[in-house]
Amino acid sequence: MYFTPSGFPILRNKKLVYLDSAATSLKPQSVIDAINDYYSHYSANVFRGLYDISEKATLKYEETREKVAQFINAKSSSEIVFTSGTTESINLVAYAWGRLTVGEGDEIVTTVMEHHSNFVVWQALARENGGVLKVLDVDEQGKLKIKNEKGKTTYKNSKLLLQNVITKKTKLLAITHVSNVLGTINPIKEIVVEVKRLNPKCLVLVDGAQAVPHMKVDMQDLGCDYYAFSGHKMLGPTGIGVLWGRKELLNSMVPFQFGGSMIAKVSLTETTFKETPMKFEAGTPHVAGVIGLGAAVDYLQNIGMEVIRQHEIELTTYVLEKLSGLNHLTIYGSKDISIRGGVLSFNVFDKSGNLVHPHDVAEILRRENICVRVGHHCAMPLHERLGIPGSVRASLYLYNTNEDINRLVKSVQNVQKIFS
């Protein structure tokens, strides 16, 4: 065990079993302290004051940009745009790039395993601009269906044939790095290579909301064009997130919102804007959020992303083994741990095979202080594809233990007893 759950104040409540980190993660003391410190000791605006506490706030704010850039191995910190979260990051790209780029008959490709924030945005854009939305399917294992010449579904294979989908008219592939329902880790690097081979002009946007908190991500290695993630799922505060984009791309885009901070010069007839990333950060930003995110990155880096991933692999293996041992229970997604993160969605059935409604499962778990998410997890197209109205989702993070899993399994058995 590498982590002290006691570093997370909320976990001092020993009764609590928190298995909903895919929705939002818990916060360590150091993150809470960093936010508290800003509000208690230097709560000034950034980029404005010439006095000490404003200078300090600005410094901390920009330091975090550096930290984040280094954390995801971006070429430069000017590629890091602070947003309110993954959702805003994706909407920013749709507005400041997509709206002006996707024309009549142009194509946007996405997948059936997306969170609504990386699906509805593109559906709406395609509709407004007369574009076409194409959706990649998943197989029974929850892996993307990308076929090779022989019609076989390939996955780890470097020869990913997306050629039936990506055409000269495709402007964007919007794809999640890790599924928030199935836990599937998509082979982004290989996919990008193949997409660029088919159409060098097609951009790739990756939704990293479920990846950045759990594994090492490397912008220069992945080869994608945009990457979006949220602070609150990686031990940071809510209301802060990141859009990473290749610099030339960000430079070529129009601003997302207009206002203070993002302008270079304003006259009655004309305004010029600052360079990337300031161009995209109009108004007073979420200073405390950024500073809290910086503390979260420090926390994660001190442990090491490889160590975190290893811990989650062990936990996921354990929970898969335990849950697979129960009758009348279906786990969705792949059993191959090398391509799966610590997100487990499942359903419980009674003896005659009727689905026990996920809400009833959650209710019984709630009574034993076990927090899981139930419903469609903002992924309705995927649930429709799986042919289920909803599911129960247990998601793991660095502070979870085998004991948490034991309690989950015991409660699920209790559900089965009640509904037998």
Ligand X SMILES: Cc1ncc(COP(=O)(O)O)c(C=O)c1O
User: What gap in Å lies between CA 24 and CA 373, rounded to an integer?
Assistant: 11
Minimum CB–partner distance for residue 180 and another protein (Å) = 17
Minimum CB–partner distance for residue 64 and ligand X (Å) = 17
At residue 291, what is the residue type? I
Q: In the annotation, is 202 catalytic?
A: no
User: What gap in Å lies between CA 374 and CA 386, rounded to an integer?
Assistant: 15
The reply to whether 300 sits near ligand X by the rule CB under 6 A is: no
The SS3 assignment for 355 reads: strand
* Structure-token pair, residue 188: 């982004």
Minimum CB–partner distance for residue 359 and another protein (Å) = 4
The answer for residues whose C-beta is within 8 angstroms of residue 268's C-beta and 6 or more apart is none
For Cα atoms 135, 140, 146, give the angle at the middle one, nearest 5 degrees.
45
Candidates 50-58, 96-104, 209-217, 373-381; binding stretch for another protein (CB under 8 A): 373-381
The reply to whether 49 sits near another protein by the rule CB under 8 A is: no
The reply to whether 391 sits near ligand X by the rule CB under 6 A is: no
Candidates 59-67, 112-120, 138-146, 219-227; binding stretch for ligand X (CB under 6 A): 112-120
The SS3 assignment for 150 reads: coil
Cβ count near 93 (within 10 Å): 29
Q: Which of residues 350-369 bind another protein (CB under 8 A)?
A: 357-360, 363-364, 366-367
Out of ligand X, another protein, none, what residue 419 binds, judged by CB under 5 to 8 A for its kind, is another protein
Candidates 134-142, 193-201, 204-212, 316-324; binding stretch for ligand X (CB under 6 A): 204-212
The reply to whether 332 sits near another protein by the rule CB under 8 A is: no
Out of ligand X, another protein, none, what residue 63 binds, judged by CB under 5 to 8 A for its kind, is none
User: What gap in Å lies between CA 171 and CA 108, rounded to an integer?
Assistant: 6
Minimum CB–partner distance for residue 416 and another protein (Å) = 12
The reply to whether 227 sits near another protein by the rule CB under 8 A is: no
For Cα atoms 376, 234, 396, give the angle at the middle one, nearest 5 degrees.
55
| φ, ψ of residue 195 in degrees (nearest 5) | -60, -45
Among 21, 25, 64, 86, indicate the residue that binds ligand X (CB under 6 A): 86
- Helices 29-41 and 287-303: crossing angle, nearest 10°? 150
User: What gap in Å lies between CA 410 and CA 13, rounded to an integer?
Assistant: 19
Binding mask of the shown chain, residues 374 to 413, with x at each position contacting another protein by CB under 8 A:
xxx------------xx-----------------------
| H-helix or E-strand spanning residue 320 | helix 305-324
Among 58, 170, 230, 395, indicate the residue that binds ligand X (CB under 6 A): 230
User: What gap in Å lies between CA 44 and CA 66, rounded to an integer?
Assistant: 20
| φ, ψ of residue 229 in degrees (nearest 5) | -155, 170
User: What gap in Å lies between CA 322 and CA 367, rounded to an integer?
Assistant: 21
Minimum CB–partner distance for residue 367 and another protein (Å) = 7
CB closer to ligand X, 67 vs 373? 373
Minimum CB–partner distance for residue 358 and another protein (Å) = 8
Q: Which of residues 173-192 bind ligand X (CB under 6 A)?
A: 176, 180
The reply to whether 419 sits near another protein by the rule CB under 8 A is: yes
User: What gap in Å lies between CA 135 and CA 110, rounded to an integer?
Assistant: 5
The reply to whether 346 sits near another protein by the rule CB under 8 A is: no
Beta bridge partners, 343, equal 395
The reply to whether 115 sits near ligand X by the rule CB under 6 A is: yes
Binding mask of the shown chain, residues 273 to 292, with x at each position contacting ligand X by CB under 6 A:
--------------------
**DSSP alpha helix (H) spans, 43-200:** 52-71, 86-93, 99-101, 120-129, 188-198
Minimum CB–partner distance for residue 12 and ligand X (Å) = 26
Residues that bind another protein (CB under 8 A): 357-360, 363-364, 366-367, 374-376, 389-390, 414, 418-419
Q: Which amino acids are annotated catalytic?
A: 378
